[in-house]
Amino acid sequence: MKRKTILVLLVGLMAGATPGCSLCSLTNGGIEKPTLIPTNLSSPVSVPTPPVVVVTPTPLPEEMVVGADAEEQLIINLYARVSPSVVNINVISGLEEFSHPEVPGFPESPFPEEFFQRGLGSGFVIDTDGHIVTNNHVVEGARRIQVRFSDDTEAEAEVVGTDPHTDLAVIKVDVPAAMLHPVELGESDALRVGQRAIAIGNPFGFERTVTMGIISAVGRVLRQISGFSLPNLIQTDAAINPGNSGGPLLDSRGKVIGVNTIIFTRTGFSSGVGLAIPVNTVKRVVPELIENGRFAHPWLGIRGYSLNAELAEALDLPVENGILVAEAIRGGPSAQAGLRGGQHEVLVEGFVEPISAGGDIITAINDTEIRSMDDLITYLESTAVGQEVELTIIRDGEKKRLTVELDERPNF
């Protein structure tokens, strides 16, 4: 039986390289092959509640369409109100290193030493100062960013701040305030599965395309290739495709509830499983990006395993849930507080590598039960650098408490 591979695709759209040569792996008329993200074990975080972005939403036009039912009329009005806030982002990125072998007797390469590739993504206006939110992976490495508005006006943009860990970025355009139609930011903590979800973006370069579905799940955690994770993601079946990256996910009132970011797919295109960064993360991160150009993530400084009944039995542990600490990273906040990592390695069936066993087991943080690494990641989303947290641990069969002062996550 053939193994089917599920791909995780960052939904920015990358077009061909210029000049004269395509350096991207292209299929179907210039769509870049999907990016694979392995599921590494990690220990991430996020931050408190800095100032909230204050916006003035564009008024809802009262356009009644003959023959439209109530739901259709809702989407028609929502699109008319919000689509002017959504922009098309065109990015030119430099490929810094491109070399060809020097073969004696052969002529020099006809291609220039420096190549460029083009990318497409989406974004949305958040204020009348010209700030636009998008994904970090849309503008990462950009040499030039061009924004196109709904009236086909184009403007150059500059990067104000980026945060690779949450995959958020803020860019800015210098245009008259009258051209800018800020979105209204909603609330993501109270979202429920089954609520309507509407995406507006530029899939495959088709500008301001609207698709609709529901919220399929909340609280998803995605391991990133960096080793850290994105917590609290919103899962939706609204069609999201390459080029939708950075565009808004909306509720039925037209308020932004997320930023469309990633799709899971076997084909490279939408298969009904898309993930969006929750708007409450946007509210925490974006003000810092505007003010400081970066965001400081709190860091506990551990590696560990999510426990289950099988692993607990194999290691003869006293509990079946929690985090078995494999390593308290040297010099990190947990190590300084006295948390212990693994003391020896054990081969466990079902694990490719030996398990680092004998370390502390984290069962709670600030009296909130921790059953898995995902629980810890989600909790740390609401903490801040410099904040003290109390860990409840089991060491040698006894319950203990440790106070840890969270540090800033380093760039590994």
Catalytic residues: 137, 167, 245
Strand ranges inside 136-289, DSSP E? 142-148, 154-163, 168-173, 196-201, 209-223, 229-236, 248-250, 256-265, 274-278
Question: Is 70:304 a contact under the CB 8 Å cutoff?
Answer: no
Question: Is 267:244 a contact under the CB 8 Å cutoff?
Answer: no
Structure tokens at 267: 């084909």
Question: Is 325:359 a contact under the CB 8 Å cutoff?
Answer: yes
The backbone torsions φ and ψ at residue 404, rounded to the nearest 5 degrees and listed phi first, read -120, 130
The backbone torsions φ and ψ at residue 266, rounded to the nearest 5 degrees and listed phi first, read -100, -10
* DSSP string over 240-252: --TT-TTPEEE-T
Cα separation of the two ends of the chain: 39
DSSP helix/strand/coil, 152? coil
* DSSP string over 316-371: T-S-SSSEEEEEE-TTSHHHHTT-----EEE--TT-SS-EEES--EEEEETTEE--
